[in-house]
Amino acid sequence: MGYRVGVDIGGTFTDFCVFDEDSGALETLKVLSRPDQPGAEVTTGLAEITARHGVTPSAISYFTHGTTVGVNTVIQRKGAVLCLFTTENFEDVLEVARLKMPDPYDLFSTRAEPLVTRDRVFGITERILVDGSVDVPVDEASVRRAIDGVRAVGGEAVVVALLHAYRNAEHERWVASVIRAEAPELDVILASAVWPVIREYERTVTATVAGYVQPRVAQYLSALQQALSDAGVIAEAMITKSNGGVMTAEIGKTDCAQMLLSGTASGVIGAASIARGTGAPAAMSLDVGGTSADVAIIIGGQPQYGVGEMIGEFPIHIPTVSVTSIGEGGGSIAWVDGHGMLKVGPESAGSSPGPACYGKGGERATITDALVVLGFLGRAALGYSAVEMHPELARTAMAAIAVQLAMSVEAAAEAVVRVAVSGMYLEVSKLVSRRGIDPRELSLIAFGGAGPMLACWLARELSMREVVVPRVPGVLSAFGGLIADIKNDFIRTIYLDLDEAAIEPMQQGFGDLARQAMVWIRDEQGFQEDVAMFPSADIRYRGQSYEIDTPLEATWIEEGDIQAIAGTFHNLHEQVYEHADRAAKIQIINLRLVVTGQPPKPAFAPAPKASGSLVASRQVEVFHDGELHLADIHARVDMAAGHRFNGPAIITQDDCTTCVLAGFSGVVDDAGNLILTRKD
């Protein structure tokens, strides 16, 4: 037996979650991130954990890690000097993208400059047709010219993305072999190997994002492995993936496309496990940090997946835990426009200078400052005392807003929270409307440094009945990594009418995918326990331009049960779009396969049972709904399963503060979660 350690690196803090396999206890820690010296925060944190909890590195049996290094490489534009080889006459694929602009009302709206600018795109004379047949074979001279071009622009790596290569990758491999022979110093990434799906822009941009981040990600992961090894950790480092699973860090060095949304996804995995624990049929996770709020929908304890999630300004099209980012966080700045209207964000004080109350030079009022003025924050240290609170500075900053609004400082602070929450309401409303979900039926699972601060307000705005605050809300992403499966996705485009003639290609396709999956999990991941496979297919009605990922039973594939497949699709279409056309022709576009292996799951010790009722450590005044209230302060460490309390209350713990408004009542459940229920 030993310890399992999950680590998640964010912009400001690096979070640790430590699970003791013997006692079932869970410990947490936050240390400051070290963007200047990646890996250093892990060393610091491990030393701190040894000091605090007596965990020796060699006793660590399992280590998972979420990192934003990939996303940051894109946002900061610090990736490889990347080149792209496309089919000749289609070199503008990244420039043209899908045409649509981010803000269609703005004459100045533009697309982001591609990660591979047009001077580093080279056309290859070749052509494969839609059925996979060769129209024009690869002209090796054109490849050599392209290689000369790469050298002339100082290219470090080449993405090869040719038309219809999802169907026949022979030309991409041919081009790669020429590059390897002529220019062995260049890294080569084949788009058909990253994610072989139809739609050339989506496939190409995904491969370029992967190729762009690859050198830095590989370097980072090597540094991490070294740091762990130096610290005496023997367990192999695992990396959390965008699909909510994990893979070895070693594989992550080459399969970068899979780990771009590493930390974000594992937060949702953590929230999903909380939802399974509380039995919430539908939930929304709310992860609020300094500059943004990430929300995700969890149905039946399962995160929802999407494609086209944004990495900086670019969509990637591999399966990803679907997370919507809202530009409002604890550091969002309040201001008053020229017409006297109060606005919050999109500008943020971030972590530096941070909110005024941090006393690090911030002078403009933020959401966090508003909560300080209202009396909810500043009652205890935040972030393991990494931040010292200065309530008087928050008041000063808020006074400037109060003057413009001609109201008291407290009223202005509440106005800031109301406006901020209404902005979040707008974005969340769009998310649930898009999916046809009634927000009143959702449990709100709040985490991140500022999630539990704002959750009651948002729940009220959305008419949600229940807020859940996990035991370790400040480090839920690190926690999510600990419980994630080893997981990978596979895809093949077949693009056929769903009829008898599709059965054989379907069976063959799934057979190939299953073989790939076994190679990945057994050989590449070295995972020898039981594995599970989940086949599905992207299906649509003829004439539609979008597909539904339809889960399939293995027996339907084996027996060629077209009726069962079609029936499932019709039902799903009905469920998602509220209508189905059972007489219409159906197309099966892509076959998908998910493979998972479950590492032994941690058995968490139940929360201690309450003996007697909860007594507030003290009472303080808080202001909300236009009046002063007396709020109980409870320390989370003192709360045990079965404890009940009423809002207004403030619950403090090392990694965050939970604000409970009047009108909410709370109870600690058996797993130690705070369940806050809105009274009518």
The minimum distance between CB 586 and other proteins, in angstroms, equals 14
80: enclosing H helix or E strand: none
Binds other proteins by CB under 8 A, chosen from 81, 101, 218, 381: 101
Counting contacts by CB under 8 A, is residue 680 touching other proteins? Answer: no
Binds other proteins by CB under 8 A, chosen from 36, 154, 339, 612: 339
The smaller minimum CB distance to other proteins, of residues 161 and 193, is found at 161
Binds other proteins by CB under 8 A, chosen from 56, 61, 125, 544: 544
Give one DSSP letter per residue of 459-524, joined into a string.
HHHTT--EEEE-SSGGGHHHHHHHHPPEEEEEEEEEEEESSHHHHHHHHHHHHHHHHHHHIIIIII
Counting contacts by CB under 8 A, is residue 405 touching other proteins? Answer: yes
The minimum distance between CB 166 and other proteins, in angstroms, equals 8
The smaller minimum CB distance to other proteins, of residues 524 and 549, is found at 549
Cα separation, 98 vs 342, in Å, equals: 36
Residue 492's alpha-carbon distances to 195, 264, 509, in angstroms, are: 9, 27, 7
Give one DSSP letter per residue of 561-607, joined into a string.
-HHHHHHHHHHHHHHHHS---TTS-EEEEEEEEEEEE-PPPP-PPPP
> Distance of alpha carbon 315 from its chain centroid, rounded?
13
Contacting range for other proteins; rule: CB under 8 A; set: 158-166, 306-314, 360-368, 467-475: 158-166
The answer, yes or no, to whether the previous bond of 303 is cis (omega within 30 of 0) is no
The smaller minimum CB distance to other proteins, of residues 338 and 612, is found at 338
Binds other proteins by CB under 8 A, chosen from 35, 144, 201, 353: 201
Contact partners, residue 293, CB within 8 Å, separation at least 6: 286, 287, 325, 326, 328, 329, 424, 448, 450, 451
Backbone dihedral angles phi then psi of residue 29, each to the nearest 5 degrees: -160, 145
Other beta carbons within 10 angstroms of residue 670's beta carbon come to 12
In 3D space, the residue among 414, 329, 346, 430 whose CA is nearest the CA of residue 374 turns out to be: 414
The minimum distance between CB 411 and other proteins, in angstroms, equals 9
Counting contacts by CB under 8 A, is residue 626 touching other proteins? Answer: no
The minimum distance between CB 509 and other proteins, in angstroms, equals 16
Counting contacts by CB under 8 A, is residue 426 touching other proteins? Answer: yes
Counting contacts by CB under 8 A, is residue 644 touching other proteins? Answer: no
Counting contacts by CB under 8 A, is residue 546 touching other proteins? Answer: yes
Residue type, 592: R
Binds other proteins by CB under 8 A, chosen from 124, 163, 321, 659: 163
The smaller minimum CB distance to other proteins, of residues 181 and 426, is found at 426
Residues 348, 353, 354, 359, CA torsion sign: negative
User: Under a CB-based contact definition with an 8 Å cutoff, are residues 482 and 4 in contact?
Assistant: yes
Cα separation, 301 vs 225, in Å, equals: 33
Which tokens go with 289?
A: 């940090």
Contacting range for other proteins; rule: CB under 8 A; set: 98-106, 263-271, 642-650, 652-660: 98-106
Counting contacts by CB under 8 A, is residue 95 touching other proteins? Answer: yes
Contact letters (x/-) for other proteins, 553-592, by CB under 8 A? -----------------------xxxx-x-----------
Residue 85's alpha-carbon distances to 150, 354, 456, 473, 552, in angstroms, are: 10, 44, 52, 45, 36
The smaller minimum CB distance to other proteins, of residues 2 and 149, is found at 149
Binds other proteins by CB under 8 A, chosen from 543, 555, 563, 626: 543
Binds other proteins by CB under 8 A, chosen from 45, 267, 423, 474: 423
> Distance of alpha carbon 30 from its chain centroid, rounded?
20
The smaller minimum CB distance to other proteins, of residues 198 and 533, is found at 198
Which tokens go with 411?
A: 């009223």
The minimum distance between CB 574 and other proteins, in angstroms, equals 11
Binds other proteins by CB under 8 A, chosen from 25, 47, 75, 130: 130
Binds other proteins by CB under 8 A, chosen from 26, 150, 318, 342: 342
Cα separation, 368 vs 397, in Å, equals: 11
The smaller minimum CB distance to other proteins, of residues 54 and 104, is found at 104
Counting contacts by CB under 8 A, is residue 343 touching other proteins? Answer: yes
Binds other proteins by CB under 8 A, chosen from 58, 76, 219, 433: 433
Longest Cα–Cα distance in the chain: 82
Counting contacts by CB under 8 A, is residue 534 touching other proteins? Answer: no
Which tokens go with 247?
A: 């893979």
Interface positions with other proteins (CB under 8 A):
89-93, 95-96, 98-101, 103-111, 117-119, 129-130, 135, 163-164, 166, 198-202, 337-343, 405, 415, 418-419, 422-423, 425-426, 429-430, 433-436, 463, 495, 543-546, 576-579, 581
